[in-house]
Amino acid sequence: MDWRWKVAIGVAVVAVIAALLLIIKYQHDLIQKQTEISNSLVEQTQLTDKIVRAQAGYVTSKDLEAYAKQLDVQLKPIRDDLKKLDGDIEGVGAVRVVTVGYNGNNISSDSTAPRPPDEKPKPGETQDPWGYQKSTQYLKLNEPFSGDNKVPWGKTGFSAWREDPWELVVYPRKYQVINVLGQDENGKHYTYSKFSVEADGEKYDIPIDDAQFVEEYPESKFRFSPSLYLGVGAGAYLTHEPKWALTPHLQAFFFSYGMTKVVPDWVFLGVGLGYESLERSVDFVLSPVGYNIGQHIPLVKNIYVVPTVTIDLQGEVTVLGGISVGL
């Protein structure tokens, strides 16, 4: 058989294997996604110093939109802003704090202050010129925020004819902070927050004066992270007479080094099986190391240059140079 046909058959075998693996991986990812969503719920936990770990879990994009709508947050302007940063929304979170309120009557004064001398009644003047003995005096209490924003806090009443003249009503309040987490293509995160207070049956959206988010810059590290890689190598036999070899192969690399586990800079100790298409033999494949050149090439990110040694069932050894792609 002409070598061109052998190369074409080898390429076809690689394409078929790749297509089958992609289909298997797609089905596996769908099953894994549903399983992770079902098993991802982490309950809220109270830590020390009043720190709370929020309840967390995975949801579908449709469920995320529904959750944001339930929180009265529009995601479209956030998505539009993140597009300018080449990012997208990663998650939505909400924090709510509730005060229980208070309602009390016939409350005595906490302290008193003498009436100023220049305000004492004049001889013959009535002791109740403003009619305070006839009706209870009420005062609304509002909590001011920045700008002209005010949120009802409660009200107080004073009945001058009572021994304990004070009344006090403190409204139950709900404080809510909603956070939307976005991420750009470089992995940097952005947070968008909305703060509201619910009091006396009304909800008040309050402007946020200061919002900050810092994250630790990821550093490269060595990991045990078994992953599958599909590749092809070209080289020559070392035993008997020299001749060319073309071997598509599937390997598992057991260690990696880089900032992320998903797309590491280096992978180490790859073992697997290959098919030497020119001699039509099944080979054992060993690759000591692979370097990710995809990080230096536009449009790709996980193409690895991998030196490879293979041994077939007859003991013939080849040395190959090739590329591999992470699955």
Q: Which pLDDT tens digits describe the chain residue by residue (327 residues)?
A: 454 555 455 556 556 665 666 666 566 656 665 665 555 455 555 555 556 666 666 677 787 888 888 888 888 888 888 888 878 887 787 777 676 676 777 776 666 566 667 766 666 666 777 777 778 888 888 888 877 788 888 898 888 888 888 899 999 998 888 888 777 776 777 878 888 888 888 888 888 776 766 565 667 788 888 888 888 888 887 766 677 888 888 888 889 888 777 788 888 988 888 888 877 888 888 888 888 888 787 777 888 888 888 887 777 788 888 888 877
- The dihedrals phi and psi of 22, each to the nearest 5 degrees, come to -65, -40
Contact of 76 with 180, CB cutoff 8 Å: no
Q: Which amino acid is at 291?
A: Y
**How confident is the model at residue 286, as a pLDDT?**
85
Query: How far does the chain reach from its first CA to its final CA, in angstroms?
Result: 33
Q: Global pTM? A: 0.55
d(CA 155, CA 175): 19
pLDDT of residue 40: 47
pLDDT number for residue 297? 79
| Confidence at residue 324, expressed as pLDDT on a 0 to 100 scale | 82
Q: In the numeric block, which tokens belong to residue 309?
A: 């040694």
**What's residue 7's pLDDT?**
47
Query: What integer pLDDT is reported at residue 43 of this predicted model?
Result: 58
